[in-house]
Amino acid sequence: MSSRKEELVGKLLDRARVWSTETVMFHTAIAETAGLSATESKTADYLARLGPLTPKELAKHSGLAPASVTALVDRMERKGVVRRRPHPEDRRKVLVEIDREGVQASVHLWDFLISSVVEMCESYSEDELGTILRFVGEAADITHEATARLSGGHPKEIT
């Protein structure tokens, strides 16, 4: 690797570290404003992105122990963020799904961030956005694998 490329990679890692910290702080503020813990907020995100999941699937995606997921879902259900419903194919199972009405009051908290990022993207070409999209996707996959390794789990597919 050239010294210029090494320098750029170092700067990229530094900026990614700053972005990561700012993202964690933003998500913490969102969670607190919505009356949720950070884990509850991110669990809601899994359900919003992936759709209804069984508690076992939720444990697999989040890396949490099944008993922890049960208590987590109980808390989130009391707060009106999720609801349980019978699994349509196996009545012995339950699905946990986001309660759209329950979370609707918090959707506006994202307005500034989303509109600002959309505005920022206007300054990039389609090719540049494609490169950024590829980078962010690959970095998310690496981060997911690193998390799984730290928690003693095996990397799972993310979406």
Asked if pLDDT for residue 5 goes beyond 90, the answer is yes
Each residue of 46-63: pLDDT tens digit? Answer: 999 999 999 999 988 887
CA-based radius of gyration for the chain: 18
Q: Is 103 domain-assigned?
A: yes
Q: Is 154 domain-assigned?
A: no
Distance of CA 84 to the CA centre of its chain: 21
Q: Is 159 domain-assigned?
A: no
Amino acid 56: pLDDT: 93
Q: Is 94 domain-assigned?
A: yes
Asked if pLDDT for residue 158 goes beyond 60, the answer is no
What does the pLDDT average to over 71-98? 94
User: Which residues touch 117 (CB under 8 Å, ≥6 apart)?
Assistant: none
C-alpha distances out from residue 87 to 54, 84, 114, Å: 8, 9, 34
When divided into structural domains, the chain yields a total of 1
Q: Is 153 domain-assigned?
A: no
Q: Is 59 domain-assigned?
A: yes
In the structure, what pLDDT confidence band is assigned to residue 106 with cuts at 50, 70 and 90? confident
Asked if pLDDT for residue 1 goes beyond 90, the answer is no
Indicate which CATH number applies to the domain containing 45. Answer: 1.10.10.10
* Domain encompassing residue 119: 3-123
Amino acid 147: pLDDT: 79
Each residue of 76-87: pLDDT tens digit? Answer: 999 999 999 999
Amino acid 71: pLDDT: 94
Q: Is 25 domain-assigned?
A: yes
